Amino acid sequence: MSPDTAMAHIDIFAPVAEALAAGRPVVALESTIITHGMPYPDNSRMAGNVERIITDEGATPATIAVVDGRIKIGLSPAERETLAQAQGAMKLSRADIGFAVAERRTGGTTVAATMIAARLAGISVFATGGIGGVHKGAELSFDISADLDELSRTPVIVVSAGAKAILDIEKTLEVLETRGVPVVAYQSNVMPAFWSRTSPYPAPLRLDAPEAIANFFKTRRALGLDGGMLIANPVPEADEIPAERMAGYIARAQQAATMQAVSGKRVTPFLLQTILELTSGESLKTNIALVENNARLAARIARAL
């Protein structure tokens, strides 16, 4: 979809439209975390809290989803609650967002699909939990998220806690470097690992202020450099699960996925659910904390822009 023709398929929630028209800061939010990332009612509470955090920081939240074939840029509280309880929602990326629109389906947007919709609406900052990336064993399965290619082509700042720790972070960084995507750790010299503040992998770049991130983005645009930027924001120290503990849970979850022949788009939701059970809910609390932390930083970057 081009920006010229896409608007026929897009509904922009009135407060979001007003903020965009007035040039006020807007932060996009994905919706697979609602449809596939957390159980109800935790997903609904999380989504509402994240929107409130962005509002409190002086920006307007725009949760993005596809509902009955309409691309929604911002959801009303009632629409968000309905999505949180939806059964059979699709998990939408670049490959199938057009299908959902054409077939009037409902789905949660991944990082890639949310970036596409945000760009069409004129939103430059997007907060999520963790991006997709290179799955472990990808040299055999070729399981690599479309999020990485989207970051290389779509000019949106993506604020996350890094790649999800169930992924191969080292290979994910290699692919991002090959695609020319700037990866910036916020106030850290190493990459975070989603539930954990640190990983063994040095951060390619570091910036310590929202204003510096905004300036870097504007400079890239001035130089004609295509694509987005990934901001890796460590989960708050009080909320993290240390990496050495998480490693054991992740290994057991991946073993279960292999034994049950889980593949494709089912892999990430399966692993997250299995880890939720193995940690007796602790991983969910950390997941919520890191999403809220990312939303706060994204709002400050949007204000700086």
**Model pLDDT for residues 194-211, shown as the tens digit of each residue:** 999 999 999 999 999 999
Mean pLDDT within 245-254: 92
For 293, the token pair is 């932390």
Radius of gyration of the chain (CA): 18
Mean pLDDT within 87-101: 96
pTM of the predicted model as reported, rounded to 2 decimal places: 0.94
- Among 30, 51, 81, 240, which one carries the catalytic annotation? 30
Q: Is-catalytic flag, 72?
A: no
Q: Output the CA–CA distances (angstroms, integers) from residue 161 to 56, 71, 289, 291, in the order listed.
A: 21, 26, 10, 8
- What pLDDT sits at residue 139? 81
Mean pLDDT within 90-95: 96
- What pLDDT sits at residue 21? 98
Mean pLDDT within 248-269: 88
**pLDDT surpasses 80 at 2:** no
Q: Is-catalytic flag, 164?
A: yes
- Among 57, 81, 91, 164, which one carries the catalytic annotation? 164
- What pLDDT sits at residue 137? 80
Give the CA-trace dihedral at 15, 96, 36, 158, to 10 degrees.
-60
Q: Output the CA–CA distances (angstroms, integers) from residue 108 to 37, 68, 252, 288, in the order listed.
A: 10, 11, 27, 17
- What pLDDT sits at residue 266? 85
Mean pLDDT within 286-297: 96
